A = this chain, B = another copy of it.
């Protein structure tokens, strides 16, 4: 049974065929929206290319079209991004995870959902869907990338990361069933990844079609796709990629993004150890303004992803709102795991989806969860002045 038979069965006539160009665009867009994290896009991209080159179909469908009673799950990579670069994925590993999940659940998987927007985990959901002949659903659970498994709109809406099946390339397999305790699922999954040598491949967030509709960040893949297209267009026409990204966000989400800074990385303060450090890339980055922003200083907190931004000591953006830093010329995202002294970038701020801004959401991935001693303030509020000036 091919993916098209499934779509026919579900009465779905509206779908997106994902070809190599589409995968390239989605991966670029997702890695920009990954807020500095999400890992090396090259890895997911090559895997998806391989699936397509084998003649398999990758098809994306709208979440509102899926039947309520289907079973879906999120295939993803969990662990240290750096290790991943050394140990590229192997489809056997995720097949084993999904097979074990199906045995444990006593049910077959019917579609995949990307865990987050990110260079690796967006694309992994497409590659696995292609491998298994299932559709991928146009959603994610984070609206960006985040460092921990429980930091999703799914978990904060009562859909849990349990069971999570974690595998490695020697076919070690761990089934983690923590019922409604997503912090426990994260704690165990993280430690299992460490035992495996730093990287694990998981199948997680098993849920129904109805749960997908109720709790996901809807159409986030299409939004990433459009951002990717916009940046590639800008490159072709030698246009300003930041302008194109902001226009794309305006078109797809009907919200204003903010370009708040152009600068050069002048200091990277990495921290190690401590209770919060679970193999994460963690610390602070200083950028000195260039061009219109000369004389200003930007300071970014990061824990795998960019979390908070201050410009001249004034708070400009707080997690879960999105901070993207892109190369001024190419729009290529600057990631926390590869950034270097001297990198030049534009900082873009984008409001998080409303499903990420609930009270439970701010508890789970607002600034205090990460150990920062201030409250969440929406990025629109922190940048009111800029907006007025721009008018």
Contact = CB atoms under 8 A, between A and B. Distances in A.
Contacts of A104: 103-104, 175
A39 B62 CA distance: 56
Nearest to A177: B173
Given A174-B176, A175-B175, A192 B181 contact: no
Interface in A134-178: 170-178
Interface in A67-113: 100, 103-104
A174 B195 contact: no
A43 interface: no
Interface string A189-219: 0011011100000000000000000000000
Contact of A172 (B178, B194, B196): B178
A187 B176 contact: no
Contacts of A175: 104, 173-175, 177
29 contacts: A100-B177, A104-B104, A104-B175, A170-B179, A172-B177, A172-B178, A172-B179, A172-B181, A172-B184, A172-B188, A173-B175, A173-B177, A173-B178, A174-B174, A174-B175, A174-B176, A174-B177, A174-B188, A175-B177, A184-B195, A184-B196, A187-B195, A188-B191, A188-B192, A188-B195, A191-B191, A191-B192, A191-B194, A191-B195
Given A188-B191, A191-B195, 9 more contacts: A100-B177, A172-B188, A173-B175, A173-B177, A174-B177, A187-B195, A188-B192, A188-B195, A191-B191
